[in-house]
Amino acid sequence: MASIDKKGIKTIADNRKARHEYFVLESFEAGIELYGTEVKSIRAGNVNMKDCYCRVVDGEMVLFGMHISPYEHGNVFNRDPLRSRRLLMHKREILRLYGQVKQEGLALIPLSLYFKGSRVKVQLGVCKGKKLYDKRATEAEREMKRVAERAMKDRRNIE
């Protein structure tokens, strides 16, 4: 599940549902405040980002709904798997995002979780919700690309 690209970034989890449900207008990188057993559990790949979202609470960016399974060797040091986690961003970035979300009715959705060096980072997206017809159009476009690629592959195999 984890993949490493050439910049030393190891992807742990992707929120594929977010790209299906929202248009991603802009993305940001944020650090995340974790405990030791949570990091060990993340290294093992025990993360679910399906229904998570972000909010600005008292001037701080907070991540809600991300499930990090308890570390199996962690005993008393394990934390609540669904606890809210603080995201680490500059104050001016947080205020700018807060203004966008409040004025334009957008949402802050975590898109992926990855290691950058030894640090865990979250890619946040400023997103706008898709309507049902947008989802259908996206699916139809994806299917057309798939058919075209299949036709090109078959054509190459014939020659």
Give start and end residues of each alpha helix (H) in the chain.
16-21, 36-43, 91-104, 132-158
- Work out the average pLDDT over 121-132: 85
pLDDT band for 15, please (50, 70, 90 cuts): confident
In angstroms, rounded to a whole number, what is the distance separating the alpha carbons of residues 33 and 85? 6
Q: Evaluate if pTM is beyond 0.85.
A: no
In angstroms, rounded to a whole number, what is the distance separating the alpha carbons of residues 73 and 2? 21
**Protein fold of 9-130:** Small Protein B; Chain: A; (2.40.280)
Give the other-Cβ count within 10 Å of 7's Cβ: 6
Which of 47, 43, 46, 40 is CA-nearest to residue 110?
47
Per-residue pLDDT reduced to its tens digit, 54-109: 888 888 889 898 888 787 776 766 766 778 888 888 999 888 888 888 888 788 88
Fill in the amino acid letter for 128: K
Those residues whose C-beta lies under 8 Å from the C-beta of residue 54, and which sit 6 or more positions away, are: 61, 62, 63, 64, 87, 108, 109, 110, 124
Bridge partners, residue 108, by sequence: 54, 126
